[in-house]
Amino acid sequence: MADYKTPSFYGIRGKDYPSQYRSSGDNAQRPTVDFNDEVRIVYDELMSVLLKKHKDYGPKNIADAPGGALNGLRVRIHDKIARINNLIDKGSEPEYESLEDSFKDLANYAIIALLVLRRKWDK
């Protein structure tokens, strides 16, 4: 299966699909894609990260969080926003994960919260 960073994953033909906003740092020319496709690409990236991390962590790190799943998510979201704010306010380059990675985590925490609220998160 094609990697989400390649145009073939999205049915786009041509060279690899790098982006100046991805952590790969490759600024090569991208094929033209409309807004709907860009949104789909981001959602697909988020889903890929969420499913891989869920496989590594399992459901209990959220389900069994002190104070309950939503409290655990609230703490994670607070910490992630504090990190993002610190990096942006100081204009610092991240030492470990990119700002994009932090925003992906933040978006995925919101998705997990929706699953928890809908009682669809594994126990």
73: in domain: yes
What is the token pair recorded at 81?
A: 């926003």
With DSSP H G I counted as helix, E B as strand and the rest as coil, what are the percentages for the chain, rounded to 5? 60, 0, 40
Per-residue pLDDT at 4 exceeds 80: no
Domain holding 73, by residue range, is 58-117
pTM of the predicted protein model:
0.73
Residue 103 lies in a domain: yes
Q: Give dist(CA 109, CA 77) in Å, integer.
A: 7
**pLDDT by residue (tens digit) across 50-97?**
999 999 999 999 999 999 999 999 999 999 999 999 999 999 889 999
pLDDT at residue 28 in the model: 52
User: Is residue 22 assigned to a domain?
Assistant: no
Segment among 1-15, 18-32, 57-71 with least mean pLDDT: 1-15
Is the distance from CB of 98 to CB of 38 less than 8 angstroms? Answer: no
Over residues 89-111, the mean pLDDT reads 94
Residue 83 covered by a domain: yes
Residue 6 inside a domain? The answer is no
Domains: count for the chain: 1
Average pLDDT, the chain: 82
